[in-house]
Amino acid sequence: MTPDTVHKLLEEAEPLLASARSGLLIVAQGGGGTTEIAEAARCLRDLKQSAKQLGESVLVSRIDACEAALDGLFTTRTPLGDTAYSVLDLIAGVEAELLDIPLRTGDLASEMEQLLDSSFGGLDNKSEPEPPAPAPEEQFELDEETLDIFRSEAEGLLANISAHLSELSSSPGDQTALWEIRRNAHTFKGSAGIVGLAEASRLAHRMEDLLDRMVELRSETPAAVIELLGTAARQMGAIVGLESSGEAHADLGPEFDAVLKAIDSGTYKTIGERAFAANGHGQRRPTEPKTPKRPNPIVRVSLDRLDELIRLSGELAEYHRTILSLMSGEDGSAPQDIGTVTAAAAKLGFELGTRLRGVRMQRFGTIETRLNRAVHVTCQEESKRAALKLLNGDIEVDTLLIDDLVEPLIHLLKNAVVHGIEPPETRRLIGKPEKGTVQVRIEQSPDGVRLIVNDDGRGLSPDRIKAKALADGAITAEQAASMSDKSALELIFNKGLTTAESLSLNAGRGIGMSIVKQSIERLGGSIRIRSTPNRGTEFILKIPVKGEVSETAVVSRAKPLVLLVDDSATVRRASSKLFDKAGFRTIDASNGAEAIELLYSGKWHPDLIVSDVEMPVMDGWEFVETAKASETFAAVPVVLVTSLSGDDLRLRAFELGCADFIQKPLDTAKVSRICSYLTA
């Protein structure tokens, strides 16, 4: 065979092998189907035809083996994934034979590298070109504020561990206490790793190893094991600066090894205190019970907000002095003057209360650095590449709610990197950018907040989850056969269920997702999953606003809120009184632009809008058109109340989506008519 002939064969083989491999990789990942298999068969058939013409019998026989395996994919009912990987191995054999041909010609050795580069590189022709060398990953410098946040979190976790160790001492067979210790150690491990406290993270990891074995045994926990766990917890506290103890420098590795060895040999029940004495830890120190407590949250307030609160407080104090003066009757004021001032003071007091509640609010984006670091550290540990995108970070959320959401969000992000995002080489082969994307989006509504966490990874396999749950005894064969894909995905929230192939720092324990579900349900929320093979997984978290988190939301359920828009302060005041008597709360704006600004501030969501038409800056027509174009406010009934009249104007109002078009002035009957649209 001449060098030119060999060159043409290799040139033809490059795109054919690339196309076959790309399709089969998609099938192996759980996506695709007969279309990709048929395309791979066509590519191999074309290559075999060329090999036959050139008399390459060995190459032909290797392609025959690939075709036979592909036929099996069409005819068998077994899962396609494993078989697809076996075909990929056979294609590697075809490629190896192709690389042998240049060696036999003696002068085409350089074609070997070209074949490999082209065959693999061609798979990424649909994605943006990657840089020749990966850019240095973002470095996260830990400031004192981040460490303070971690210490606050660690204090609560270690207090919980201590309290449950005390329960375990009193009742060694308490599996719930054992699970809670395991849960808190797991969270501590992840958080310590994120802030770079590797020693504390490793110690928590050793605790997890031991706790996993104790959970599996479903037996009473020996006192020596409880003491070891308590010693480890105290050492973790010393490492992060929460306890002053010499135990921070003691090596607990031998104790953990000894206990695990005793469990493996079946002699763990005889573990005594001699092991601790032999290692220099002396007599057991009883674990002091601690009541789990929530670390005091810190709220940072801007100077602008403080100045505004001081101003409002000063005005309220001035109103108070004025009311006292009027009540004394020294200036001969009329009773109605007192009523007017009292009403104004009440309105100011309501505004002050609203602003004070606003002090608790902070930008959701303030936790972006912590979330970014969680993704960054997990990528380093898993040898993967991924970037975090946080959307709508300017939305303000109650500080306590943000604190409660950090833990489940970090678990979801770590889970996305470990189980979702593919290794860079795999992503390149299937036409994805080497760096994956994990996205967190927050949305706000009158009832609470909605969080969407998604990735562009491999997605979840319902069949694989059911198989794992069946093997673990979580479901029966009958349940697995009748279970829908949606129900199968929900199984990942079961305690102890994991699809990881092996135990690692970040996966294999089946605890992370159960923590997420417990955390969200504790907030009164819910979590749903959506997943598409080879395209990624999405978690939707809904958390209601309740109690002290948003008093305005609670009040709004009792008294509907009406937005009054009119450029006349007198009209706004008179309208407000009418709606107050009808049992409504009111807020007002002097023109359409001010009303739009108020709507999009995120503080108010009116149940009804009553607007004038002729106003400066933005008139009623433009205001209604803008409000109705918003997905958030499109369903809110709008009533135009104006001195204008005419069928053409009424028709225009209805065309814009208004509920009614009413002539000024308002009276009790017209207000009742307007209020009827709330229940229409």
CATH number at residue 629: 3.40.50.2300
Sheet holding 526-532, edge to edge: 386-391, 436-445, 448-455, 536-544, 526-532
- What is the chain's mean pLDDT, rounded? 77
Residues 430 and 543 reside in one and the same domain: yes
The answer to whether residue 589 is domain-embedded is yes
The answer to whether residue 296 is domain-embedded is no
CA end-to-end span of the chain: 85
Q: What is the pLDDT of residues 433-458, one digit of tens each?
A: 999 999 999 998 777 899 999 999 99
User: In this predicted structure, what is the pLDDT of residue 136?
Assistant: 40
Better pLDDT: 16 or 129? 16
Range of the domain at 331: 304-359
User: In this predicted structure, what is the pLDDT of residue 434?
Assistant: 92
The answer to whether residue 431 is domain-embedded is yes
Q: Which amino acid is at 176?
A: T
> What is the pLDDT confidence band of residue 329, given thresholds at 50, 70 and 90?
low
Residues 192 and 231 reside in one and the same domain: yes
Compute φ and ψ for 132, nearest 5 degrees. -60, -30
Nearest-5° angle of CA 433, CA 439, CA 440? Answer: 175
Can you give the CATH number for the domain in which 542 is found?
3.30.565.10
HSE toward the beta carbon, residue 209, CA cutoff 13 A: 21
User: In this predicted structure, what is the pLDDT of residue 502?
Assistant: 47
pLDDT of 601 strictly over 50: yes
Boundary (domain end) residue, out of 56, 89, 123? 123
In whole angstroms, what is the distance from residue 450 CA to residue 540 CA?
A: 7
User: In this predicted structure, what is the pLDDT of residue 553?
Assistant: 37
Total Cβ atoms within 10 A of residue 499: 17
Segment 72-79 shows an average pLDDT of: 60
User: In this predicted structure, what is the pLDDT of residue 440?
Assistant: 95
- Bridge partners (DSSP) listed for residue 642: 663
Residues 626 and 673 reside in one and the same domain: yes
User: In this predicted structure, what is the pLDDT of residue 66?
Assistant: 86
> What is the pLDDT confidence band of residue 550, given thresholds at 50, 70 and 90?
very low
| 3-class secondary-structure state, position 505 | coil
Query: What percent of the chain has pLDDT above 90?
Result: 15
Boundary (domain end) residue, out of 344, 359, 374? 359
> What is the pLDDT confidence band of residue 574, given thresholds at 50, 70 and 90?
confident
Report how many domains make up the chain: 5
Of 239, 258, 257, nearest in space to 247 by CA: 239
User: In this predicted structure, what is the pLDDT of residue 122?
Assistant: 45
Q: What is the pLDDT of residues 607-647, one digit of tens each?
A: 999 999 998 888 999 999 988 888 788 889 999 999 888 88
Residues 335 and 450 reside in one and the same domain: no
The answer to whether residue 318 is domain-embedded is yes
**Backbone region of residue 30 per phi and psi (left: phi > 0; alpha: psi in -120 to 50; beta: other values):** left
> What is the pLDDT confidence band of residue 171, given thresholds at 50, 70 and 90?
confident
Residues 348 and 369 reside in one and the same domain: no
Q: What is the pLDDT of residues 213-248, one digit of tens each?
A: 887 777 788 888 888 898 888 888 888 876 655 444
pLDDT of 528 strictly over 90: yes
Can you give the CATH number for the domain in which 53 is found?
1.20.120.160
Asked if 468 contacts 492 with a C-beta cutoff of 8 angstroms, the reply is: no
User: In this predicted structure, what is the pLDDT of residue 372?
Assistant: 87
Please return the burial class of 668, using the count of CB atoms within 10 Å of its CB with bins 0-12, 13-18 and 19+.
Answer: exposed
**Backbone region of residue 646 per phi and psi (left: phi > 0; alpha: psi in -120 to 50; beta: other values):** left
Residues 371 and 352 reside in one and the same domain: no
User: In this predicted structure, what is the pLDDT of residue 324?
Assistant: 67
For every residue of 140-206, DSSP letters joined together read -PPPHHHHHHHHHHHHHHHHHHHHHHHHHHH-TT-HHHHHHHHHHHHHHHHHHHHTT-HHHHHHHHH
Residues 400 and 531 reside in one and the same domain: yes
Of 339, 337, 338, 347, nearest in space to 316 by CA: 347
The answer to whether residue 494 is domain-embedded is no
Query: What is each CA distance from 512 to 243, 494, 505, 517, in whole angstroms?
Result: 27, 10, 12, 9
User: In this predicted structure, what is the pLDDT of residue 402?
Assistant: 87
Residues 541 and 620 reside in one and the same domain: no
How is residue 261 written in tokens? 């060895």
The answer to whether residue 446 is domain-embedded is yes
CB-based contacts of 367: which residues, under 8 Å, 6+ apart?
402, 405, 406, 409
The answer to whether residue 137 is domain-embedded is no
How is residue 12 written in tokens? 């033809």
> What is the pLDDT confidence band of residue 547, given thresholds at 50, 70 and 90?
very low
Residues 628 and 532 reside in one and the same domain: no
Residues 80 and 203 reside in one and the same domain: no
User: In this predicted structure, what is the pLDDT of residue 537?
Assistant: 94
Q: What is the pLDDT of residues 109-143, one digit of tens each?
A: 454 445 445 555 444 444 444 444 443 444 445 55
User: In this predicted structure, what is the pLDDT of residue 354?
Assistant: 64
Query: What is each CA distance from 394 to 304, 441, 443, in whole angstroms?
Result: 17, 11, 11
Q: What is the pTM of this model?
A: 0.44
User: In this predicted structure, what is the pLDDT of residue 264?
Assistant: 74
Segment 280-298 shows an average pLDDT of: 45
Residues 521 and 657 reside in one and the same domain: no
Q: What is the pLDDT of residues 367-395, one digit of tens each?
A: 888 888 889 888 988 899 999 999 998 88
In whole angstroms, what is the distance from residue 280 CA to residue 265 CA?
A: 24
Return the DSSP state at 417: I
The answer to whether residue 477 is domain-embedded is no
Residues 60 and 47 reside in one and the same domain: yes
Mean pLDDT comparison of 356-365, 499-508, 524-533, highest-scoring range:
524-533
Better pLDDT: 329 or 36? 36
